[in-house]
Chain A
C-alpha cells in the first residue's frame, strides 16, 4: 500500500462531501410528451462512503449517475462533485455503465486500458507504458475478476457476464477517487456475483474510493454498502437513508445473519411501497 493511502487511513478525515445534488430536476423531452425523471431530488455522498442505491425500475437511478459524471445536465438545480459544479468542467470518475459498451475495434485489454489513455497522470505515460506497466496492470485486474487469458479477445467473443466483468475492470483501472457503478453485476450468476462482491469489497477497503452503486439486488446492497438509499417511483426521490454497520470484511456468512435478513426484508417492503404508490398514481 502506498504511503499516501496509509496516511489517509491514519488521519481521521472530516466527512467531506464528494457528491451533492441540490433540488435537481431532470425533464426528458419537451411539450406534452415530456416527463420528469427526477423532481427536486437531493442527496449527499461523503468521501470514502460506499453508497448503494435501490429503487423501482425507471425511477431515475441511471439518470443520477449520468448527472454526476457530467453526461447529463440537470434541467433545474445543481450538481456538485468534489466541491465543483458539474457541467462547467467534467470530473474524471470511474464509471461502469448498465450496458457494458466495449468498443468492438479494440481488444478486451485495450478496452480496459482506455481510461489510462484519457485520464492524467496516466495519459502522459501511456505511449511509453502501454506495452509495459499499463499492460501488466490491466492483465492483473482482468485476472482478479477471472478473465486472465481473455485480454486479446474481442468483445463479441465474450459472454454477457464476462463483458460485465471487463466493464468493472475498465471502471477501476485508473484507481478513481469516485466510482459510479450501474448494476455492474446484473447479468451474472449468483456465485460469480458473490465472488465479485468480495473482490469489490477488498478493492474498496484497500484504496477507499467513494463508491456509488446502483443495484436491484437488495442482498448486494446490504453486503457492500455503508449506506443505502431507497428511491421512490418516478420522479425518483430519496425516501429512505440507512446506515449499514456490519463489520468488514463481510463474508457470505454475513448474509445469513439475522440483522442482514432483517435489513433486506425492510428494504424490500420500502420498495414494494414505492412501487404501489406509483401504480396508484398512474
Chain B
C-alpha cells in the first residue's frame, strides 16, 4: 500500500468517528436527551478535560495493570502456544481444552481471584492476564501447527534438528498469527482489568466509572469509557506498527485469522 493510500484510510477512519460524534451530538440536542441518560460527546470531552487531574492517576493505574497482565499473558501464552503447536498430536489433544477455557466468561473468575488474593491490583492483573491469554495460545499454536510441511522439508532434508526446524521455520511462520493475536489480546487485557476494577478495587478507571454511575454522574462514567477507548486504540496502533515492521512479508498475502 502506498503512503497516500494509507493516509487516506486513516483519514476515512477519523472522519467516520467524527461523523458518529456529530450525529450523536445532534441527536441529543434534537430530542432533548437528558445528560443523566446519555450525555453529549461535547459534555463528555469537557468532563474528561476538567476532571483530568483526578482521572489521570486512575488512567495510569489501569494502564499499568493492563500492561503487566498483558506481558504476563503474552509470556505464558507464547510458551503454551509453542508447547501445543509443535506436535500435531498435542494440538489436536489440547485444542478442546483451550476452547473450553477460553469460553469461560472472565467475570466468573474475578471473585475467585479476589478470594485468593484479596481485592486490589493483583486480581485485576490476573484477570487481564487470563482474558488475553487464550487468543495468544490459540493463534501461536495454530500458526505452528499449520506450517506447510514443504517448508519444513527444506530444512529436514538438510538434516536439521527439530529445534532448528522450529526456530527457522515454525516460529517465523507463526509470527503473523502471534501479532494478529497481540492486537486483540491487548484490547482484551483492558476489558479484563476494568472488569476486575469494577468488581473489586479502589482505583483505576473501572472503579471511577462504578462510583460515577452510583452518583448518577453519567458524563464522568462516559469520560471513563472514552479514556478506555483512547488507550485501547493507542495500544492497538502500537502493536499494528510493530507487526507491520516485523511481519511485512505476510501482509501482502492473506488476511490472518484472529483468535
Q: Which residue of the partner chain B has the closest CB to A174? A: B158
Asked whether A119 and B151 contact (CB < 8 A) given A104-B249, A114-B168, the answer is: no
Do the beta carbons of B155 and A118 come within 8 Å of each other?
yes
For A66, list chain B residues within 8 Å (CB).
153
Do the beta carbons of A101 and B249 come within 8 Å of each other?
no
Q: Which residue of the partner chain B has the closest CB to A103? A: B151
For A180, list chain B residues within 8 Å (CB).
157
Do the beta carbons of A71 and B153 come within 8 Å of each other?
yes
For A115, list chain B residues within 8 Å (CB).
158
Between B148, B151, B164, B249, the greatest number of chain A beta carbons within 10 A of the residue's beta carbon is seen for B249
The docked-state distance in angstroms from the alpha carbon of A114 to that of B173 is 15
Q: How large is the interface on B (under 10, 10 to 19, 20 to 34, 35 or more residues)?
A: 20 to 34
For B148, list chain A residues within 8 Å (CB).
101
| B172 close to chain A: CB less than 8 A | yes
The docked-state distance in angstroms from the alpha carbon of A156 to that of B253 is 10
The docked-state distance in angstroms from the alpha carbon of A166 to that of B207 is 60
Do the beta carbons of A105 and B252 come within 8 Å of each other?
no
> Residue-by-residue, is A67-107 near B (CB-CB < 8 Å gives 1, otherwise 0)?
00111000000000000000000111101010101011100
Between B153, B159, B175, the greatest number of chain A beta carbons within 10 A of the residue's beta carbon is seen for B159
Decide if the interface of chain B is mainly helix, strand, loop or mixed: helix
| A227 close to chain B: CB less than 8 A | no
For A174, list chain B residues within 8 Å (CB).
158
Q: Number of residue pairs across A and B with beta carbons under 8 Å?
A: 63
Q: Which residue of the partner chain B has the closest CB to A101? A: B150
Do the beta carbons of A103 and B169 come within 8 Å of each other?
yes
The docked-state distance in angstroms from the alpha carbon of A66 to that of B154 is 11
Q: Which one, A91, A99, A154, contacts B150 given CB within 8 A? A: A99
For B175, list chain A residues within 8 Å (CB).
105
| A275 close to chain B: CB less than 8 A | no
For B169, list chain A residues within 8 Å (CB).
103
Do the beta carbons of A118 and B153 come within 8 Å of each other?
no
Which 4 pairs of residues, A with B, have the shortest CB-CB distance? A69-B157, A90-B159, A92-B159, A95-B157
Where the two chains meet, the residues of B that have a C-beta atom closer than 8 Å to any C-beta of A are: 148, 150-151, 153-160, 164, 168-169, 172-173, 175, 247, 249-250, 252-253
Where the two chains meet, the residues of A that have a C-beta atom closer than 8 Å to any C-beta of B are: 66, 69-71, 90-93, 95, 97, 99, 101, 103-105, 114-115, 117-119, 154, 156, 170, 174, 180
